[in-house]
Amino acid sequence: MSWNGLGNVGTIDGGRPRPAARQARQRVVALDVLRGFALCGILLANVKPIAHRGGELGTAHVPETTTAMVLHLLVDQRFFPIFSLLFGVGFSLLLESAQARARQPRVVLLRRLLALLAVGLLHLLLLWKGDILTVYAALGLLVLLPSTWLPRRVVAITAGVLIVLSVTLLGGWYSVIPGLFLLGSALTRYGVVRRIDSGPRTTAVLGLIFALAAVPTAVIQLRAGSSDPGSTASRIAYPAAGLLAAGAYVCGMLLLLRTRLAGPLTAVFRPLGRMALTNYLTATVLVLAISGVVGDSDRWPVGGVVAVAAAVLLVQWMWSVVWLRRCHQGPVEWLWRWVTWWQRPPLRRPR
């Protein structure tokens, strides 16, 4: 069994899954949905940077129009924290699997990260210099892999310290990723992820706290960004609002998955999430192709950005649904797992 922030759960050597694997399958739906949901938001934030063929993912600013401001508050720096957290979750789940299957489990993790680094470098050098995979792989090697030797309490405390330092001193963005990686790992090691479908009251309370804290923080972000973009308040409020909104989004989605909307939400987001790595890479190709036809992405209105993102996601959703009917996982995910375990996994589903 393996699961990671960009991949999905699999079987154990083609045989009968162990009890841990069966538990993972029960919880993977929610994780897949969260991953697919985060993928949609990340694409929406990245459409213009990709189309511009630049490498900057953006900086704190106050948009000029009301619609741009709304999009900014709902999307910018609100979704990649979810992805980063899930990557840390998946890393620890993969470690559990590797410890049960391999004599040298950390070698499995090392191959996983090195393979991701290779894919990220190709994406970075050939398509878009704003690639995040190289950052994930490098920080995974520097932070996540060494953390496997540490007690879970140390990992949890370190995660909190790194997140606070990132928000208060470093302005968020890439600097917050190590803390989120470790937070996801700690949540897994403390068993929180295994209980993801339980405790709706706790989830609701946390979601309410995140949402109530996110609103005034976002207001501070806008006011400080308008009057003095380089101020301490602006520098702290921007990443803080993003993290709080991300927490509210996660809690809200988990609560919605306990309602009648669970079916539609799963149908929409899970296929995208199960092929997140493939879809992340192909999104760059599709956006670049659209920008090559339309041109001058700097002048795209908010509606145009949303339309491009929606078109790309629709294509990817249809592609993912069709592909997963016949195959266990996406093509890039399959290659990634092959390198991770150093043996060829089955790709096509038996008929």
124-142 as b/e: b if 16+ CB within 10 A: beebbebbbbbbbbbbbbe
What tokens does 326 get?
Answer: 């016949």
Does the pLDDT at position 6 exceed 60?
Answer: no
- pTM of the complete model: 0.88
**Average confidence (pLDDT) over 159-174:** 91
Question: What mean pLDDT is reported for the chain?
Answer: 87
120/87 Cα distance (integer angstroms): 15
137/141 Cα distance (integer angstroms): 6
Residues 6+ apart with CB under 8 A from 187: 85, 88, 89, 193
Domain boundaries, the chain: 27-53+261-350
Greatest pairwise CA separation for the chain in angstroms: 63
- pLDDT tens digits along 188-214: 999 988 888 777 899 999 999 999 999
- pLDDT tens digits along 262-287: 999 999 999 999 999 999 999 999 99
CB 251 within 8 A of CB 32: no
What's the pLDDT score for residue 336?
96
Least confident among 18-27, 135-144, 166-175, 200-209: 18-27
Q: Above pLDDT 90, what percent of the chain?
A: 65
Question: Minimal CA–CA distance to 21: which of 12, 31, 34, 33?
Answer: 12
114-116-118 Cα angle (round to 5): 70
Question: Minimal CA–CA distance to 21: which of 93, 86, 89?
Answer: 93
Does the pLDDT at position 228 exceed 90?
Answer: no
Residue 53 phi/psi, 5-degree rounding, is 65, 30
**Residue pointed to by tokens 């999430």:** 273
Q: Which residues pair with 264 in a beta bridge?
A: none
What's the pLDDT score for residue 295?
74
258/261 Cα distance (integer angstroms): 8
CB 188 within 8 A of CB 89: yes
CB 181 within 8 A of CB 139: yes
Least confident among 96-110, 152-166, 216-230, 264-278: 216-230
Does the pLDDT at position 26 exceed 70?
Answer: no
What's the pLDDT score for residue 63?
63
DSSP state of 327: B
- pLDDT tens digits along 325-345: 999 999 999 999 999 999 998
CB 332 within 8 A of CB 283: no
- pLDDT tens digits along 236-245: 888 999 999 9
- The Cβ of residue 106 has, within 10 Å, a number of other Cβ atoms equal to 15
DSSP helix/strand/coil, 348: strand
What's the pLDDT score for residue 265?
97
Helical axes 302-326 vs 66-75, angle rounded to 10°: 40
